[in-house]
Amino acid sequence: MDKMPVSDLLSAGAKHIGLRLLHGKKQTHEHFITSHRIQKPGLALAGFTEYLHEGRIQILGNTEITYLWTLPPKQRKAAADNLMQHEICCFIVTKNLKIPKEFLAAVQECGVPLFKTKLLSSKAIELITDFLEERLAPETNVHGVLMDVYGIGVLIMGRSGIGKSECAVELVKRGHRLVADDIVTIKKRYDTLVGMSNDILRHHIEVRGLGILNIKDMFGVTAIRMRKKIELVIEFVDWDQVGSCDRIGLEKKFYETLDIKTPMTVLPITAGRNMAVIVEVAARNQLLKVMGYDSAKDFSDNLLNKMNPKRKKNGAAAGDILSFKNIPKKGEE
């Protein structure tokens, strides 16, 4: 979302900020916030408005309000009128400070929403920034299933009907947690991807032949999560669609979305494979990699050292890795 109506500051999600609307109820639907960064007018009240940014919430704290009260009424009105010449989405006055009538009149005349909160400026800025970062974060939707497996956020993707939801049910049965099925909403937070379900599908999963199931009601609240950081992407593909298959695990693949790359594993599907167990193993392997241990690389190094003892003494050369690309798959020997 690239912009958010000011009215969202009065939504249930922003209730913890404790904002009270003083003026501009109609305008809250017409003014939009475009940045999660907060601004304090400061010098803008003294006439220096060059760095006043449109689309940012303007916080009036103790410094700003006290400065206005020190001005004579005419200068106070001039300062407020000068501020209103710019496209300001809204003002928030902190600490329940008393607002000069000249500023109130200028706000009402220009139709700029005005809020008040009892919070200190520092706390209000912290809470509002966190709320805006969530609402204004870039997002996209993907078709798949998002699971929390051993604390690793695993996004399972693949063609429709390949068995993603059935695998998810088995994972839930084995004690793991469902985040989203079918449509996964992904938001970019800093340099990470966070996945969640939409309001309609939350806690539900579709199993062909059974229909829509409520995982929360069937397995309890411990079987679901509201959101999860995505740390591994697993793509299910049909066995006969796989060309050369990495037999060791040294190939590095990534899934890129919202300009962020996430480690990716491609798993061939065939009759008799317990995909839930394989997904568990993939999650465990990812945990080891996060901790700095790569079993495939370790195996490759040990085997190459056995084949060439001098290699260990001289050190591995660049690109000196083991490859099983030309080894036939099981059943093709």
How far apart CA 296 and CA 234 sit, in angstroms, is: 18
What local confidence, expressed as pLDDT, does residue 330 receive?
Answer: 52
How far apart CA 34 and CA 70 sit, in angstroms, is: 32
**Closest-CA residue to 184 (of 141, 134, 228):** 141
Is 55 annotated as a binding-site member? no
Is 159 annotated as a binding-site member? yes
Catalytic residue, chosen from 247, 289, 297, 311, is 247
For 115, list phi and psi in degrees, rounded to 5.
-115, 165
Assign domain 4-136 to its CATH architecture.
3-Layer(aba) Sandwich (3.40)
What local confidence, expressed as pLDDT, does residue 323 receive?
Answer: 54
Burial of 176: CB neighbours in 10 Å, binned 0-12, 13-18, 19+: buried
What local confidence, expressed as pLDDT, does residue 222 receive?
Answer: 94
Q: At 47, is the pLDDT very low, low, confident or very high (cuts 50, 70, 90)?
A: confident
Q: In the annotation, is 143 catalytic? A: yes
- Give the rounded distance of the alpha carbon of 283 from its chain centre: 20
Is 160 annotated as a binding-site member? yes
What local confidence, expressed as pLDDT, does residue 48 receive?
Answer: 87
The two structure tokens encoding residue 307: 């084949």
Question: Given a cut of 50, is residue 333 above it in pLDDT?
Answer: no
What local confidence, expressed as pLDDT, does residue 152 receive?
Answer: 96
Question: Given a cut of 50, is residue 326 above it in pLDDT?
Answer: no
- The domain spans of the chain are 4-136, 139-295
Q: In the annotation, is 247 catalytic? A: yes
In the three-class reduction of DSSP (H, G, I as helix; E, B as strand; rest coil), residue 195 is classed as strand
For residues 291-297, give the mean pLDDT: 88
What local confidence, expressed as pLDDT, does residue 1 receive?
Answer: 63
Q: C-alpha distances in angstroms, 39 versus 48, 125, 126, 208, 316?
A: 14, 9, 12, 52, 54
Question: Given a cut of 70, is residue 329 above it in pLDDT?
Answer: no
Q: In the annotation, is 164 catalytic? A: yes
The CATH number of the domain covering residues in 139-295: 3.40.50.300
pTM of the model as a whole: 0.76
Q: Which of 42-56, 71-85, 282-296, 301-315 has the lowest mean pLDDT?
A: 301-315
Q: At 68, is the pLDDT very low, low, confident or very high (cuts 50, 70, 90)?
A: very high
